[in-house]
Structure 1
Amino acid sequence: MREFERAAQQAGFVLDDAQRQAALRLAELGAGMTRRRGLFSRPAAPPRGVYLWGSVGRGKSWLTTTFYEAVPLRNKRRLHFHDFFREFHAAYHRNRGDSRVTDRAVTELLGDCRFLVFDEFHVHDAGDAMLIGRVLRSILDQKITLLTTSNYPPAGLLPNPVFHEMFEPTIKMLEETMDVVELGGGRDYRAEYGSGAARSEFERGAYLWPGTGEQLAEQGLTPPEAAERRPVEVGGGRTVPALAVRGDLVWFDFHDLCDRPYSTGDYLAAVDRFPVWVLSGLPRLAGENRDAAQRFANLIDVLCDRDVRLVLVGEAPLDDVLRGENLPLDVNRTASRLSLLSATADSDAH
């Protein structure tokens, strides 16, 4: 518990009641995983995992980072769930001839891992839901202690009422095998502490509206020319059309990147190649189809989690872009993350 209090003091804040309760449960988890046993004692059963959920900006990632860095375990892993699931698909394909293909793929990816952290766990894709259930069962059967962070309680996963029932067995498994800890409260620390000096590459990015030549020039950019347009490979023979590729920088148009059936794995593949992104032509999401809006939310997750510098060019103020009906399921998280970008508006555009 002292590690959490010390880290909070260094970060310039005091743990609130909900954070303190979550920290206490994580401290118990750490004690359970590191408790020494006698030489001839039977192997201890792994401690119950923790499913930590709460609204955006409540400190889930901060608590998890503080805990993970303090736990003195060698065989621990921390993965963003998007990243893991992309790698799992590839491992599943490699082991598809095996009758225990899911277990083989999980073992290939995790090896001797005994403590696994999944950041940003959520389920929106009905096509992945059943496979995710099998993956979680395999992880638990292999006696790996699991800590997950999520914006949703287990019962809120796969919220689409058409498909939710199919995921209920997995929800029940999570609730029976993990302690569900809510990080409640309305205070958004990300919004409070997001101003000031940038602490990451993502925070060094900017939101420009409407993206005038002067605004772009302030970011060291010039508008792309037609001759710069080229395809960017994302694996599996697929390509994404880019408006420009300039060394480590790639420039995409919203409709090219989000209005086509690209997956989170495609975005991850592109992020692996380019540490600086420009995305222009961002419209008001309420006027777009829901799939395009959800892809945009997934993209922002990937860029933020991979700490990519982003210059985002919108057709309206950011609040207007993220307002209305037909928005992504995770629009609050998207808004919280985009609030980290410095915003620049052209005075003549108002």
Structure 2
Amino acid sequence: MRRHFHQAAARRGFAVAPAQEAAVERLARLAAELARPAWTFPKPPRDLYVWGPVGRGKSWLVDTFYEGLPTERKRRLHFHDFFRRLHDGVTAPGARRDGQSAVDSALDELIGDSKVLVFDEFHAHDAGDAMLIARLFRTLLDRRITLVTTSNYPPAGLMPDPLYHHLFEPTIQLIEQRMDVLDVSGPVDFRRLAAPRSRDGGRRFATGLCLPPGGTAPADAGLALPSPAEATTVPAHLRELPARAVRGELVWLGFDALCETATAVSDYLALAERFCTLVLDGVPPLAEASADGRQRFANLVDVACDRDVRLVLIGADPLTALPDGPVLTRDLDRTASRLAMLGRPA
């Protein structure tokens, strides 16, 4: 597995960073443990919680680990997607059956016979979801399923709102007791570096654009301004969204329609399942957007990056003039890091 990590890095044109070496070693050891027959272990392997600031390669580390596991009994999900599916399963009619709780039934549907579960970018901000997340973690850790997760927060930093942090403290204690916590807080945000040439192809998300109002895209980008006749609606999760245009695998939406109305991560996931390119125009400085609009925009960028959807932003620099303050800038450091991957035409 160590060789697999170094070969995977070389294929993408870089080397494993010193700050990642301890995580590579621990993930390689976990892979070796998982390869052994179950009867040789009196207890299942320790679960892993990999955390660090944005852009330190956490997702690459766990995705490379996942790809290198020879077993087919594994699942990898982004936490947004995992939690969306869990929530839908818990609230679906008839979710309780055969004496199981709704959470157990939903997990059975999600995990199947998997023995390894990887989910990326675990976080807890919403007090309304805190109890379901707490139940989720306890259920996962009580099963003989190996859990590997990434986060931008150390366990003690989860649910940072002081009004609700105490609600999550039992889950934090459970994570610290039952999982090995790996810190990959190196000094470099790799997303802000010039991308090396990759031998296995690039990513659509990283080829997206940030354009000023009225800016012009390259002629081959297919981004001619929509005409009024192209206006239509597109189905999302449980609603129809107004679109300025739909052109094959491209959808063109307005910031107000997508981020300043009551949309949710499930809607962005539905769009990502249908479209390869998402154009968002009318993007304001996020300091001028509502608090919910800022959070929805951050969630949209997360989904686009994870699902490798090419994102084109037209409008103001969304991150300009953001004042300091944990409430305003919550999770926007991750958003800023991801937006740094997008091209900005001169």
Fold match (TM-score > 0.5): yes
SS at match of 2:185: coil
SS at match of 1:312: strand
Residue 344 of structure 2 aligns to a residue whose secondary structure is strand
Aligned 8 A contact 2:322 2:329 in 1 = no
Residue identity in the other structure for 1:78 = R
> How many angstroms does 1:90 deviate by?
2.2
Query: 2-side partners of 1:324 and 1:226: how far apart?
Result: 40
Match of 2:210 among 199, 204, 207: 207
- Structure 2 CA distance for partners of 1:323 and 1:202, relative to 1, 3 Å: farther
Q: Distance in 2 between matches of 1:159 and 1:195?
A: 35
Among residues 49, 62, 65, which one is paired with 1:64 in the alignment? Answer: 62
Query: Residue in 2 aligned with 1:254?
Result: 255
Is the contact between residue 234 and residue 241 of structure 2 (CA under 8 Å) also seen in structure 1?
A: yes
In the alignment, is the contact (CA less than 8 A) between 2:59 and 2:150 conserved in 1? yes
- Which secondary structure state, in structure 2, belongs to the residue aligned with residue 344 of structure 1? coil
- Whether the 8 Å contact between 2:286 and 2:318 is mirrored in structure 1 is no
Q: Provide the rounded CA distance (Å) in 2 between the counterparts of 1:285 and 1:318.
A: 5
- Any idea what SS the aligned residue of 1:179 has? strand
Residue 242 of structure 2 contacts residue 257 of structure 2 at CA under 8 Å; is this kept in 1? Answer: yes
How far apart in 1 are the matches of 2:19 and 2:227? 52
Alpha-carbon distance, 1:302 to partner: 0.5
Report the Cα distance in structure 1 between the residues aligned to 2:217 and 2:321, rounded to whole angstroms: 19
Amino acid at match of 1:320: T
Given candidates 55, 73, 76, the residue that maps to 1:75 is 73
Aligned equivalent of 2:226, options 224, 228, 239: 224
Asked if 2 retains the 8 angstrom alpha-carbon contact of 1:216 and 1:222, the reply is no
Aligned residue number for residue 292 of structure 2: 291
Number of equivalences: 339
The residue identity in structure 2 corresponding to 1:253 is G
Structure 1 residues 198-256: Cα deviation after superposition (integer angstroms, max 9, x where no partner): 711112211101233x44756322222333322222133x2222122222211111111
Task: Write out per-residue CA displacement over residues 285-311 of structure 1, whole angstroms, 9 at most, x where no aligned residue.
Answer: 112221110100000000111111121
Q: How does 1:1-350 map to 2 (within 5 A)?
A: 1-36=2-37, 41=39, 44-94=42-92, 95-98=94-97, 99-194=100-195, 199-212=202-215, 214-215=216-217, 219-236=221-238, 238-315=239-316, 317=317, 320=320, 327-345=328-346
Q: What is the root-mean-square deviation of aligned Cα atoms in Å?
A: 2.2
Deviation string for 1:286-345 (max 9, x for gaps)? Answer: 122211101000000001111111211122x45527666663411111111111111024
8 Å CA contact 2:49–2:180 kept in 1: the answer is: yes
Per-residue CA distance 1:166-187 (angstroms, 9 max, x = gap): 1111111111110011002211
Structure 1: stretches of 5+ with no match in the other structure: 346-350
- Residue 34 of structure 1 aligns with an amino acid whose one-letter code is A
What SS does structure 1 have at the residue aligned with 2:88? helix
- Write out per-residue CA displacement over residues 88-135 of structure 1, whole angstroms, 9 at most, x where no aligned residue: 122223443345221111012111111110011111221111101111
% identical aligned pairs: 49
TM-score relative to the length of structure 2:
0.91
- What TM-score do the two structures reach when normalised by structure 1? 0.90
- Comparing 284-293 with 6-15, greater Cα deviation is found at 6-15
User: Is the contact between residue 285 and residue 319 of structure 2 (CA under 8 Å) also seen in structure 1?
Assistant: no
Q: Which amino acid aligns with 1:132?
A: I
SS of residue matched to 1:166: helix
1:42 shift after superposition: 7.0
Residues 9, 200 of structure 1: CA spacing in aligned structure 2 closer, same or farther, 3 A cutoff?
closer
In structure 2, runs of 5+ residues without a counterpart are none
Q: Is the 8 A contact 1:77 1:113 kept in 2?
A: yes
Contact 1:51/1:180 (<8 A) preserved: yes
